Structure 1
Amino acid sequence: MNDIKSIIDTLSVEDHQKFVSYLQQKNKRKDTKNIQLFKLLSNSDDDSKVICKQLYNVEKSNAYHALRKRLFQSIIDFTANKNLDDENSIDMQIVKYILASRTFLLQNNFNIAYKILDKAERLADEHLLFTILNEIYHTKIQYASHYPKIDLEQLIIKQKVNQKKHQLEDQLNIVYAKLKSMLNEVSYQGKVINFETELEILLKAHQIEINSSLSFKSLYQILSIANISALVTKKYYSIESFVMKSYDILKQKKETDKQLYYQIQIVYIIANTLFRNKKFATSLNYIKEMEQLMQLKKKAYHKSFTLKKTLVEALNLNYSNKQEEAILITESVMNKKHDDLEAILDLHLSCFMFYFQSGNFIKAKSISAKFYHTDQWYKEKAGIDWVIKKNVSELLLYIELQEDDLFFLRLKSFRRVYSNYLKNIGQNRILTFLKFAEHYYLKPESVSTEEFKNKLEIAFEWVTINEEDIFVISFYAWLKSKVENKDLYQTTLHLLNP
């Protein structure tokens, strides 16, 4: 039930209508209940027993089980046909050209066959379809001896160049997969590794040099690799130039909408990188570009990227002194059903932060109350970095609400569970920060003394404001606001724009 329901939830309103029409055309009997089952699954979260009761007046039925299996297969067939019509029309057209050309080659009609193959080659080359290009070159070379007009040596060179491009794409795919697995170990299992060293080893092992023409997919994977490195090391400033130059390469390509999904991914990476580097206005410009791209192809990818786009847009607005607008757009999407659980959790935590910075601790607590799963569950779903941010944020909330028991209990638990991990990854300053927070809670009057101020200034090893992580600055701003007895939100904005 979960599989079929999760697929149905990803369909757009237009897809719902098309799928019902598809079922109507497919149904040979009038009493078939597949459309009724589809509508029940689309409009409710009822379990199998309830739905079975509605359809067959019993809670369990072999007929219901069979109906559900047939509906699942119909959705798969519909999705596959839709993709053939929408996304892979060029691929299918080229394959048809190749098949037609082979028919003419077998009939010794070489002139027509090679004209068709030339057309297929131009299309495949334009869309960087390396696998299909290899089939075209293979066919051309196979029959070259029968067609004197062919420059065989030139054809062989073209095939070898294409094979190198295809090999590069394959190698990048492998490196990307390995790095994603490595990131999962870091983010979701708390494993400590030297990520930059591992990245260098992987690129060298697979002999990857980024110096040739790439497909949009490959370019996206390269940027993802850079983004993963920045995520782990918190050094987003180190990848910005590379990311922007890479996108310039992308925009020079023709027919970029042919790999629209990867283009949207790239623009999202750029917008997020610029946000992390505190370039809010520029980041928002790329958010607008992302929205424009999401409107293409009848909004085929709009639902897939709505949460990510909203998250980065809201964060930019919040740090651009437009907090109310940030809260408004965050709350407009964060409670909607979506498969991207990690983005939903990020939106909830961001909204928590917005309310906390505004001093609305009751609203912040209402969001915090929804985090009722264990840390281990959240670690598996959103990563250890998210869990640590949540814990530290909640500890500050307990201080503001003067919830003594919760604060000291959770502080003790946090130190026991995460102290070694934070020390191993070189983030001792989180533990230092919590010592100052505890000191403030126990002796709030002491924070205004020169002694406390001096200790605070020398306790942290700071890099420049441009290089420091924006969320680290946001946490520090809370202490700073207590020392100076000023508004937290304005203190945060002042630290980011001195």
Structure 2
Amino acid sequence: MIALKSIIDAFSVEDQQKFIAYLQQKNKRKDTKNIELFRLMTKPELDSKSFCRQLYKVDNCNAYHALRKRLFQSLIDFTANKNLEDENSTDMQVIKYILASRTYLLQKNYEIAYKILDKAERLADEHLLFPILNEIYHTKIQYAPNYQKLDLDNLIHKQKENRKKHILEDQLNIVYAKLKSVLNTMNYEGRAIDFENELQTILEDYNIELSETLSFKSLYQILAIVNISALATYKYYEIENFVLKSYKILKEKKETDKQLYYQIHIVYIIANTLFRNKKFEASLRYINEMEELMKLKKRTYHKEFILKKTLVKALNYNYNNQQDNAILLVEDVIKTKHSDIESLLDLHLSLLMFYFQKEDFIKAKSVLSKFYHTDQYYIEKAGIDWVIKKNLAEILLYIELDEDDLLYSRLKSFKRKYTTYLKQINQTRILTFVNYAERLYQNPESSKSAEFSTKLKSTFESNTIHKEDIFVISFYAWLKNKAEGNKLYNTTLNLINS
């Protein structure tokens, strides 16, 4: 039931209409209830028992479950057919060429067979379809002795080069999966791991250097690996040049529009990297490029990337002195239902931060009230880093609202749950920050002393603050503002721009 409902929830209104038309064409009997069940399942307020009663007027479980199974199979068939039409038309066309050519080869009609295979090779090469290219070369080589016009040595050389590309793409895929798994262990399970050491070990195991560039997909995987490293270590400034240089090389390739999904991903990585490095205007330029790419292929990937794009755009606005625009942007997009839970949680947490920096603590608390699940739930959905940020925001909000009981309850819980983890990942400065915040609440006047200001600066500021993570600076700005007594948003922007 859950799997079926989750598939239907992900359908757009257009997809729903197309699926109903698909069922109408498929149905041979007029009394089939699959369309009726599908329409019922698009309504979020109904449950399984309600579906059964509305369809059969009684609790006819056997008939309902059989109907549900048939609908599930129809959804799979519809999705597969849609993907064949939308994305894999090139793959299918090349495969058809190979199958047709093999028929002509068996008939010894070599001239026409190799013309078709040449056509298939050009198309597969243009779209970087390495496994299919291998099939083409295999077929060409198999029948080469019967067709003297072919250069067999050249064919063998092509196949070897293609095999290298295919192997590298496979290796990158494995490395990406392993590093993503390591990051998930850190982020979603809260276990401390030496990520940089893991990265180096995995790359050495597969003899891969991060300077290699190949296909659009391979380059995306390399950039994704680098981005994972920056996410784990907060060192976005170390990857910026590599990311920009790699994308420039990629854009010079002719096939940049052939793997649109990966291109959008890469532009998103660049925009996010530039934002984290506090280069807001440059980041927004890449967001504009991302928006244009999302319009291509009949907006096929618009739904997939809309939340990620909106998040980075809103964050850029907020830190580029356009806070009201940031708030409007986020509030508008979260009104609509989305299946990307992690990005949705990021947007809500960002909105909380925007209101907090604006010192509209009532609205910030209203956003916070929507986070009613346990920390463990959010660790599984968005990761431990997100949960720690949420907890810190909550502590600061209770300080500002002077809510003693909630504050001390949250402080006690935070220290009990996360002290060991933060020490393991060498982020004890978060604990130092929490201790400063607690002391300020207990003795607000202490923030006005010159001694407090000096100690604060020596603890959190350094000559490398321009390389510091933007969110770390944002938390420190709250402490600094308590010492200076200005507007929090202005203090935050001044500190970042310094």
Classify the TM-score, shorter chain: over 0.9
2:384 aligns with 384
Moved more, 310-319 or 460-469: 460-469
Q: Could you say what secondary structure the match of 1:37 adopts? A: helix
Q: How far is the alpha carbon of 1:164 from its aligned partner?
A: 0.4
Q: 1:414 to 1:193 in 2, by over 3 A?
A: same
Counterpart code for 2:61: S
1:234 aligns with 234
1:13 aligns with 13
Q: 1:114 to 1:210 in 2, by over 3 A?
A: farther
Q: Could you say what secondary structure the match of 1:143 adopts? A: helix
CA distance in 1, matches of 2:20, 2:169: 39
Q: Could you say what secondary structure the match of 1:430 adopts? A: helix
CA distance in 2, matches of 1:47, 1:451: 62
The alignment status of 1:441 with 2:441, answered yes or no, reads yes
Q: How far is the alpha carbon of 1:14 from its aligned partner?
A: 2.0
1:48 aligns with 48
Moved more, 485-494 or 8-17: 8-17
CA distance in 1, matches of 2:229, 2:194: 10
Counterpart code for 2:215: S
1:401 aligns with 401
CA distance in 2, matches of 1:211, 1:421: 33
Mapped contact 1:128–1:215 kept (Cα < 8 A):
yes
Q: How far is the alpha carbon of 1:32 from its aligned partner?
A: 1.1
**CA-to-partner distance for each residue in 1:314-342, whole Å, 9 max, x for gaps?**
11111111111111111112243222111
**CA-to-partner distance for each residue in 1:231-252, whole Å, 9 max, x for gaps?**
0000001111111111112212
CA distance in 2, matches of 1:440, 1:19: 59
Q: TM-score scaled by structure 1?
A: 0.98
Alignment map for 1:40-189 (pairs within 5 Å): 40-189=40-189
Q: Could you say what secondary structure the match of 2:23 adopts? A: helix
CA distance in 2, matches of 1:458, 1:257: 50
Q: 1:345 to 1:212 in 2, by over 3 A?
A: closer
Q: How far is the alpha carbon of 1:461 from its aligned partner?
A: 5.8
1:330 aligns with 330
Q: TM-score scaled by structure 2?
A: 0.98
Mapped contact 1:172–1:222 kept (Cα < 8 A):
yes
Where does structure 2 lack aligned partners over 5 or more consecutive residues? none
1:483 aligns with 483
2:203 aligns with 203
Mapped contact 1:49–1:60 kept (Cα < 8 A):
no
Q: How far is the alpha carbon of 1:208 from its aligned partner?
A: 1.6
CA distance in 2, matches of 1:212, 1:232: 22
Mapped contact 2:171–2:206 kept (Cα < 8 A):
yes
Q: Could you say what secondary structure the match of 2:259 adopts? A: helix
CA distance in 2, matches of 1:189, 1:210: 27
CA distance in 1, matches of 2:211, 2:128: 16
Where does structure 1 lack aligned partners over 5 or more consecutive residues? none
Q: How far is the alpha carbon of 1:63 from its aligned partner?
A: 1.4
Q: How far is the alpha carbon of 1:480 from its aligned partner?
A: 0.9
Following TM superposition, the consecutive aligned residue runs of length 4 or more in structure 1 with deviations greater than 6 angstroms are none
**CA-to-partner distance for each residue in 1:392-420, whole Å, 9 max, x for gaps?**
11000010000111111211221122112
CA distance in 2, matches of 1:147, 1:40: 61
Query: RMSD value over aligned CA atoms?
Result: 1.3
Q: 1:211 to 1:453 in 2, by over 3 A?
A: closer
Mapped contact 2:453–2:480 kept (Cα < 8 A):
no
CA distance in 1, matches of 2:77, 2:404: 58
**CA-to-partner distance for each residue in 1:425-470, whole Å, 9 max, x for gaps?**
1111111111111111011111111111111112236352331000
1:311 aligns with 311
Mapped contact 1:477–1:492 kept (Cα < 8 A):
yes
Q: Could you say what secondary structure the match of 2:58 adopts? A: coil
CA distance in 2, matches of 1:336, 1:472: 30
Q: How far is the alpha carbon of 1:212 from its aligned partner?
A: 5.5
Mapped contact 2:395–2:411 kept (Cα < 8 A):
yes
Counterpart code for 2:124: A
Q: How far is the alpha carbon of 1:210 from its aligned partner?
A: 5.0
CA distance in 2, matches of 1:145, 1:91: 28
